C-alpha cells in the first residue's frame, strides 16, 4: 500500500534529484568563482552586453554634443562624416550586445564573443581618436582643453560600461591614449603642454585601474549570487526532504492505524477464548485437576492473557490519542467522587503492601465538564503507579482543590525512591521505563504516563511530573477553568457542552 502510493506520482521522486543537480552546479560555481569558469564568464559577458545596450542612447547623445563642439575647429562635412562613422560603431556594439543576450547559454562560444566585444570597443576607441585628431590644434589652448575634457568623458563611460571585460576597456581606451600622446606631444618643456599630457596619461591609468576594481566587484557580486543560489537550492532540497519525510510519516501512520484496527480484532478473538477457558480451568468448574501444577499453569495463562489484553487496550488508546481520534464523551463529573472510587478500588492492593493513603480535598468543589471514563483512567493509572513504586510501609497523599486561575487539580504524591531527573523524559515517552522499573521487573508496558498526558491534554489541561531521588514522586493533573461548571452553565448544558468542545479542540 505504501509503495503503491509513493510510486503514484513520479514527479515527487524526480524533484529531489533535480534539486540535487542544481545544488551541485551552484556549489561548483561558488568553488570556482572567477575567470576560466564558463558560467561566470557568460555572466560577465551578459553584464557587459546589458551595459552596452543600456548606454547606447547616452553614447549617441555624447557623440552629437562632441560633433557640435567640433564644428568650431573642423569643417561641417568632416564632422558629419565622423558622426555617421561613430554612430555606425555604436550600432555595431549595440547589435552585438542584443544578439548575445538573445542567444542561449548552451550555444555561446565565450572566447569568440569576448573577441567580438573587444574588436567592437576598439572600433569605437578609434572613432573617438579620429575626432581628437580632427579638433586638436596645438596652437589653440581651447582645443587642447576640449580634447582633455572629451578624454575624461569617454574614459569614464568606458570604464563603467566595459568593466566586466577588462580587455574591452583597454581596447577602447588605448587608441584614445595613443592619439593624445601623438597629437599633444610637447614641443618644449616651457610650452605648457607637458602638464596636460601628464594629466591625460594619469587619467587613463586611473580609469583602467577603476575598470579592474569594477571587474573585481562584478566577480564578487556574481559569487554572492552563486552563494544565494546555493542557499536557495539547499532550502528547496531541505523542503523536498521534509515533504517526503512527512508524506512517508503519514503513510506509515495510516498503515499503523490499519494494522492496529485489524490486529485488535484478530487478537481479541483468541484472547477471549484463552481468558474464558483458562478461567474455567483455574476455577476447576468441571472437576479438580489430577495434577496440582495444572491449576498453577491455568492461573499463569489467565494472568498473562489479562496482561496482553491490557497491553492491546493501552496501545489502541494511545494510537487513537496520537491520531486525534479519541472522542470525549463529556458530561458533568465530580472529581472528588471519581478519585474516591479509584482509591477504594485499589485500597486492597495498597493494604497488602501496608501502604497508607491520605486524602486532602477542598470542600464544595463544583463539577467538571469532562469524560468520566478518561478521568477515571487517568486516576487509576496514577494511583497504580504510586502503589507499585512505593515501598511497603510507605505513604501516598492525594490532594484535590482549586488552582490559582480558577481551575481544579488533583495531585498524587508517594514516598517511593523517586526518579532521576535525566530519566523523566524517558518515562514520559511511549514504552519508556526507568531503571527502577527494570531493576524490580515490575509489570508494565511504559504506556501509562503517555496515555495520561494525552487524555489530560485532550481536556485542555496540563500534566506535570516532579521527582527527586530518595524523596518520592509527585504528579499533578490540572483541568482548565473552562471545564469548571458553575450555576449558569448547568442550566444550559447544551450550550456549555458546545463551548467546552470548542475549547477542547482549540487546546488539542
What is the rounded distance in angstroms from the CA atom of residue 265 to the CA atom of residue 337? 34
**Domain spans, the chain:** 36-223, 330-507
Give, in order, the Cα–Cα distances in Å from 339 to each of 345, 361, 482. 10, 10, 20
- Measured CA to CA, the distance from residue 370 to residue 330 in angstroms comes to 5
Given 3.30.565.10, 3.30.230.70, 3.40.50.300, 3.40.30.10, which CATH number is that of 330-507? 3.30.565.10
Cell of 500: 467546552
pLDDT in tens, 335-379: 999 999 889 888 888 988 899 999 999 988 999 999 898 899 899
What is the spatial distance between Cα 419 and Cα 136, in angstroms, rounded to a whole number? Answer: 98
Q: Which residues, other chains included, contact 238 with Cβ-Cβ below 8 Å and sequence gap of 6+?
A: none
Better-scored residue on pLDDT, 330 or 166: 330
pLDDT interval class at 7 (50, 70, 90): very low
pLDDT at 185 (0 to 100) = 63
Instruction: Please determine, for residue 262, whether its predicted confidence score (pLDDT) is greater than 80.
Output: no
CA dihedral (287, 293, 296, 298) positive or negative: negative
Residue-wise pLDDT for 405-455, tens only, equals: 889 999 999 988 888 888 888 888 766 666 665 555 455 566 778 888 888
Of 65-74, 106-115, 173-182, 346-355, least confident by mean pLDDT is 173-182
C-alpha cell at 112: 569568440
Which pLDDT does position 191 carry in this prediction? 54
Q: Against a cut of 0.75, is the pTM above it?
A: no
pLDDT at 288 over 50: yes
Comparison of pLDDT for 249 and 140, the residue scoring more? 249
Which of 19, 37, 21 shows the shortest CA–CA distance to 29? Answer: 37
For the stretch 205-243, pLDDT in tens is: 777 777 777 777 777 777 777 778 778 888 888 888 888
**Mean pLDDT of the region 401-408:** 91
pLDDT at 202 over 90: no
Decide if pLDDT at 508 tops 70. no
> Is 2 a residue whose pLDDT tops 80?
no
pLDDT classification of 504: cutoffs 50, 70, 90: very low
Query: Mean pLDDT for the chain?
Result: 78
pLDDT at 395 > cutoff 50: yes
Mean pLDDT for the stretch of residues 74-99: 88
Q: What are phi and psi of 477, to 5 degrees?
A: -115, 125
Render 202-259 in DSSP notation, one character per residue.
HHHHHHHHHHHHHHHHHHHHHHHHHHHHHHHHHHHHHHHHHHHHHHHHHHHHHHHHHH
Q: Identify whether the C-beta of residue 94 lies closer than 8 Å to the C-beta of residue 53.
A: yes
What percent of the chain lies above the pLDDT cut of 90? 13
pLDDT at residue 9 is higher than 70: no
Classify 366 as helix, strand or coil: coil
Residue 476 has pLDDT above 90, yes or no: yes
Greater pLDDT, 39 or 445: 39
Task: Find the mean pLDDT for residues 189-213.
Answer: 70
CA-wise closest residue to 507 among 468, 470, 481: 481
Return the minimum-mean-pLDDT range out of 118-122, 240-244, 304-308, 457-461: 304-308
- Rg of the chain taking only CA atoms, in angstroms: 45
Cα 308–313–315 angle (5° rounding)?
95
Q: Is 241 left (phi over 0), alpha (psi -120 to 50) or beta?
A: alpha
Is the pLDDT at 13 greater than 50, yes or no?
A: no
pLDDT at residue 502 in the model: 53
- Please state the rounded mean pLDDT for residues 89-97: 88
Cell of 55: 548606454
- Sign (positive/negative) of CA torsion 50, 51, 57, 59? negative
Q: Classify the C-alpha dihedral 57-58-60-65 as positive or negative.
A: positive
Q: What is the mean pLDDT of residues 467-478?
A: 89
Q: Read off the pLDDT band of 272 (50, 70, 90).
A: confident
Higher pLDDT: 277 or 398? It is 398
| All three cell numbers of 432 | 519508556
Region of poorest pLDDT, from 251-255, 419-423, 504-508 = 504-508
Bridge partners, residue 411, by sequence: 399, 476
Report whether 66 contacts 131 (CB < 8 A).
yes
Q: Is residue 314 exposed (0-12), middle (13-18) or buried (19+ Cβ within 10 Å)?
A: buried
Of 57, 82, 84, 60, the C-alpha closest to 71 is 82
- In a 3-state reduction of DSSP, which class is residue 38? helix
Cell of 263: 490486529
The residues with which 479 forms a beta bridge, in sequence order, are 408
Q: Judge whether 443 and 391 are in contact, CB under 8 Å.
A: no
pLDDT score recorded for residue 325: 66
Query: How many angstroms separate the CA atoms of 195 and 204, rounded?
Result: 14
Amino acid at each position: 500500500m505504501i509503495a503503491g502510493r509513493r510510486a503514484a506520482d513520479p514527479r515527487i521522486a524526480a524533484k529531489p534529484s533535480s534539486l540535487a543537480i542544481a545544488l551541485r552546479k551552484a556549489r561548483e560555481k561558488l568553488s570556482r568563482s572567477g575567470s576560466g569558469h564558463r558560467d561566470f564568464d557568460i555572466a560577465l559577458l551578459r553584464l557587459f552586453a546589458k551595459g552596452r545596450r543600456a548606454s547606447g542612447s547616452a553614447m549617441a547623445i555624447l557623440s552629437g554634443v562632441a560633433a557640435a563642439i567640433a564644428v568650431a575647429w573642423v569643417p561641417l562635412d568632416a564632422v558629419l562624416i565622423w558622426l555617421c562613422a561613430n554612430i555606425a560603431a555604436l550600432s555595431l556594439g549595440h547589435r552585438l550586445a542584443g544578439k548575445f543576450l538573445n542567444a542561449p547559454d548552451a550555444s555561446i562560444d565565450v572566447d569568440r564573443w569576448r573577441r567580438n566585444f573587444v574588436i567592437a570597443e576598439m572600433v569605437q576607441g578609434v572613432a573617438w581618436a579620429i575626432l581628437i585628431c580632427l579638433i586638436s590644434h596645438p596652437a589653440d589652448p581651447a582645443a587642447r582643453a576640449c580634447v582633455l575634457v572629451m578624454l575624461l568623458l569617454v574614459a569614464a563611460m568606458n570604464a563603467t560600461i566595459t568593466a566586466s571585460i577588462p580587455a574591452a576597456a583597454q581596447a577602447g581606451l588605448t587608441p584614445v591614449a595613443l592619439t593624445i600622446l601623438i597629437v599633444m606631444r610637447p614641443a618644449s618643456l616651457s610650452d605648457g603642454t607637458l602638464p596636460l599630457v601628464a594629466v591625460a596619461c594619469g587619467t587613463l591609468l586611473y580609469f583602467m585601474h577603476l575598470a579592474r576594481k569594477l571587474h573585481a566587484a562584478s566577480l564578487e557580486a556574481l559569487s554572492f549570487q552563486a552563494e544565494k543560489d546555493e542557499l536557495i537550492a539547499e532550502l528547496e532540497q531541505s523542503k523536498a526532504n521534509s515533504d517526503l519525510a512527512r508524506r512517508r510519516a503519514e503513510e506509515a501512520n495510516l498503515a499503523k492505524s490499519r494494522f492496529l484496527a485489524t490486529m485488535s480484532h484478530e487478537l481479541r478473538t483468541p484472547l477471549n477464548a484463552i481468558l474464558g477457558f483458562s478461567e474455567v480451568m483455574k476455577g476447576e468448574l468441571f472437576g479438580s485437576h489430577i495434577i496440582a501444577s495444572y491449576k498453577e499453569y491455568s492461573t499463569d495463562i489467565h494472568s498473562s492473557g489479562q496482561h496482553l489484553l491490557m497491553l492491546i487496550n493501552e496501545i489502541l488508546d494511545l494510537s487513537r490519542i496520537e491520531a486525534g481520534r479519541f472522542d470525549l464523551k463529556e458530561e458533568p463529573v465530580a472529581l472528588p467522587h471519581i478519585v474516591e472510587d479509584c482509591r477504594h478500588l485499589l485500597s486492597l492492593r495498597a493494604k497488602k503492601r501496608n501502604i497508607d493513603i491520605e486524602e486532602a480535598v477542598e470542600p464544595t468543589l463544583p463539577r467538571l465538564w469532562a469524560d468520566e471514563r478518561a478521568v477515571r483512567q487517568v486516576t487509576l493509572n496514577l494511583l497504580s503507579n504510586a502503589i507499585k513504586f512505593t515501598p511497603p510501609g510507605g505513604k501516598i497523599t492525594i490532594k484535590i482543590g482549586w488552582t490559582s486561575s480558577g481551575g481544579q487539580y488533583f495531585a498524587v504524591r508517594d514516598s517511593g525512591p523517586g526518579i532521576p531527573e535525566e530519566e523523566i523524559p524517558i518515562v514520559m515517552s511511549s514504552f519508556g521505563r526507568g531503571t527502577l522499573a527494570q531493576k524490580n521487573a515490575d509489570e508494565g508496558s511504559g504506556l501509562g504516563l503517555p496515555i495520561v498526558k494525552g487524555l489530560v491534554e485532550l481536556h485542555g489541561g496540563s500534566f506535570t511530573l516532579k521527582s527527586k531521588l530518595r524523596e518520592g514522586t509527585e504528579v499533578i493533573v490540572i483541568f482548565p477553568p473552562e471545564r469548571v461548571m458553575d450555576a449558569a452553565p448547568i442550566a444550559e448544558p447544551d450550550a456549555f457542552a458546545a463551548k467546552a468542545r470548542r475549547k477542547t479542540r482549540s487546546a488539542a
